[in-house]
């Protein structure tokens, strides 16, 4: 690990369909006993070299229980993990209820602590100390609630954030007098007339609610997509094993990193205050992994429900032009600021593997805890001894206990 504290440097800064394409990549590279695909199509996951010592399987490793402590119905936006619609809050959890324009806090026994209403499109939750942050993506309203549900602060930020509102936002979290909010675009303004590679824009805004000002915003290269505009229609397909950007609040700021490397920078409203890097040897992509994704994409092209409309035509053009694939796997796949105060980093899943590793870093950026989970679990939050997850095809979240803590 290399840790640097720079001075005077400033960083430069069609939802459901795109989500479905993202999930294709994972599904195509995950063995399915009922699919008839020969397991020999994938090299054994154990034969693929680990890209970094950060992701070494070093015991003790935490693993989740099989029986949930609590199950709560939640409105989940699958595949868009940066939109946190549930997280730990106090001894219970805060959720955006299924089909509800509200935010609800549920105790560990399943009873409702409070319910805060008046939202049009509540898509994001975050924490600021012991308080809950909510973000309404329609009105661009940030609300801070205390443990009892009383409003601590409430403000509309539409005027200050006009240039950043190309996509949904979510509060990454707060620290001191600042709150960091992340935005990601669903489209680009100037898609090329022929298929081309574009990194969709992402932004992180640093707000001072007390003063009502935007301290700083960073424009970042987001998800890599193969995109085009033909006539009045446009469409996009995520690049196979493409790169993106991840952000999470922990340790007094917002950690931001490109998935191309293990270099993480801690940002605040004044700039970059810290940088840390870990050893990383890129893992080459096996040709069979790419072919598996191509086969799944071909199934979407041949779907009768997609054979009409301009966007379907653009998608076919994109596919037939050849969806690009990266020659190496991303260095990691996700960042998360846990309720336990750690920065959690998820490795990129090796195609063919059945589990995935998360590593929790303490304030000194030392790997303090490792956790191995089934690939199917969508992690929403992590606390000491417990885990908040979602599962495919289920509009709800579960609290699981973590076993094997050192």
Say which residue, 205 or 232, is predicted with more confidence: 205
Say which residue, 80 or 340, is predicted with more confidence: 340
> What is the mean predicted confidence (pLDDT) over 204-232?
91
pLDDT band at 250 (very low <50, low <70, confident <90, very high): very high
CA 202 to CA 165: how far, in whole Å?
A: 10
pLDDT of residue 8: 36
**Residue 105 pLDDT exceeds 90:** yes
Q: Say how many C-beta atoms besides its own lie within 10 A of residue 59's C-beta.
A: 7
pLDDT of residue 13: 29
pLDDT of residue 14: 42
Q: Residue 215: CB partners within 8 Å, gap ≥ 6?
A: 178, 206, 207, 208, 269, 270
> pLDDT tens-digit profile of 7-53?
333 232 244 444 444 444 555 555 444 444 443 355 555 556 667 88
> pLDDT tens-digit profile of 287-318?
988 988 888 888 777 766 655 555 567 888 88
> Whole-number mean pLDDT of the chain?
83
Share of the chain above pLDDT 90, in %: 48
pLDDT of residue 185: 79
- State the pTM of this model: 0.87
**Residue 4 pLDDT exceeds 60:** no
DSSP H or E segment with residue 237 = strand 233-238
**CB-CB contact of 86 with 77 (8 Å):** no
CA 191 to CA 197: how far, in whole Å?
A: 9
pLDDT band at 324 (very low <50, low <70, confident <90, very high): very high
**Residue 233 pLDDT exceeds 80:** no
pLDDT band at 350 (very low <50, low <70, confident <90, very high): confident
**CB-CB contact of 293 with 25 (8 Å):** yes
Say which residue, 143 or 315, is predicted with more confidence: 143
DSSP H or E segment with residue 226 = strand 213-230
CA 376 to CA 356: how far, in whole Å?
A: 9
CA 68 to CA 400: how far, in whole Å?
A: 5
pLDDT of residue 310: 52
pLDDT band at 124 (very low <50, low <70, confident <90, very high): confident
Lowest mean pLDDT among 50-59, 220-229, 240-249: 50-59
pLDDT band at 66 (very low <50, low <70, confident <90, very high): confident
pLDDT of residue 401: 92
Lowest mean pLDDT among 1-15, 205-219, 333-347: 1-15
**CB-CB contact of 85 with 75 (8 Å):** yes
CA 41 to CA 167: how far, in whole Å?
A: 38
CA 132 to CA 155: how far, in whole Å?
A: 14
pLDDT band at 376 (very low <50, low <70, confident <90, very high): confident
């Amino acid at each position: 690990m290399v840790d640097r504290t720079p001075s005077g440097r400033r960083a430069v800064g069609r939802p459901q369909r795109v989500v479905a394409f993202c999930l294709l990549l994972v599904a195509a590279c995950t063995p399915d006993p009922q699919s008839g695909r020969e397991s020999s199509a994938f090299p054994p996951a154990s034969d693929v070299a680990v890209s970094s010592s950060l992701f070494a399987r070093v015991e003790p490793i935490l693993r989740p229980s099989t029986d949930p402590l609590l199950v709560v119905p939640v409105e989940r936006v699958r595949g868009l993990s940066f939109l946190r619609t549930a997280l730990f809050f106090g001894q219970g959890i805060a959720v955006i209820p299924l089909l509800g324009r509200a935010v609800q806090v549920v105790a560990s026994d399943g009873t409702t602590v409070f319910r805060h209403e008046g939202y049009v499109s509540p898509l994001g939750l975050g924490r600021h100390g012991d308080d809950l942050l909510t973000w309404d993506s329609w009105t661009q309203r940030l609300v801070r609630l205390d443990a009892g549900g009383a409003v601590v602060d409430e403000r509309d930020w539409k005027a200050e954030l006009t240039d950043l509102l190309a996509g949904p936002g979510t509060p990454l979290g707060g620290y001191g007098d600042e709150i960091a909010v992340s935005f990601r675009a669903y489209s680009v303004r100037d898609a090329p007339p022929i298929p081309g590679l574009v990194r969709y824009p992402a932004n992180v805004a640093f707000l001072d609610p007390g003063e009502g000002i935007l301290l700083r915003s960073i424009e970042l290269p987001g998800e890599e997509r193969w995109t085009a505009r033909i006539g009045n229609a446009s469409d996009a397909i995520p690049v196979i094993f493409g790169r993106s950007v991840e952000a999470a609040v922990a340790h007094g700021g917002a950690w931001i990193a490109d998935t191309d490397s293990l270099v993480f920078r801690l940002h605040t409203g004044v700039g970059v205050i810290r940088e840390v890097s870990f050893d990383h040897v890129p893992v080459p992509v096996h040709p069979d992994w790419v072919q598996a994704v191509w086969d799944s994409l071909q199934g979407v092209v041949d779907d009768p429900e997609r054979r009409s409309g301009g966007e379907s035509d653009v998608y076919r053009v994109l596919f037939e032009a050849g969806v690009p694939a990266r020659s190496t796997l991303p260095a990691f796949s996700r960042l998360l600021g846990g309720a336990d105060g750690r920065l959690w980093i998820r490795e990129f899943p090796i195609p063919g593997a059945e589990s995935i590793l998360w590593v929790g870093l303490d304030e000194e950026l030392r790997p303090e805890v490792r956790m191995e989970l089934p690939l199917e679990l969508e992690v929403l939050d992590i606390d000491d001894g417990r885990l908040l997850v979602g599962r495919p095809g289920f509009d709800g979240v579960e609290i699981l206990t973590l076993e094997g803590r050192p």
